[in-house]
Amino acid sequence: MCIVTRQVKDEAELIRFVRGPDGAAVPDLGRKLPGRGVWVSLDRAILAEAVRKRLFSKGFQAETTMPPDL
């Protein structure tokens, strides 16, 4: 389920993110990194909205930053 749209989608239509030890969200393109993951739709505008609304911090239940080069 996308953390922004709350729509249930196929995994091929979503990107999984995990929270790294430094507190930054990391895209898990292989879907194999350990830890809790949050999913975002494959859409640049939706990803930007997730960052703007700080939904990664809410989803991980901890302060989470996004790398500027994402």
Mean pLDDT by 10 residues, the chain (70 residues): 96 94 93 92 94 94 86
Q: Give the per-residue pLDDT at 68.
A: 77
Q: Give the per-residue pLDDT at 36.
A: 86
Residue 4 phi, psi (nearest 5): -95, -55
Contact 2, 43 (CB under 8 A): no
Distance CA 68, CA 63 (A): 16
Alpha helices in 1-70, H assignment, sequence order? 44-52, 55-60
Q: Give the per-residue pLDDT at 5.
A: 96
Q: Give the per-residue pLDDT at 15.
A: 96
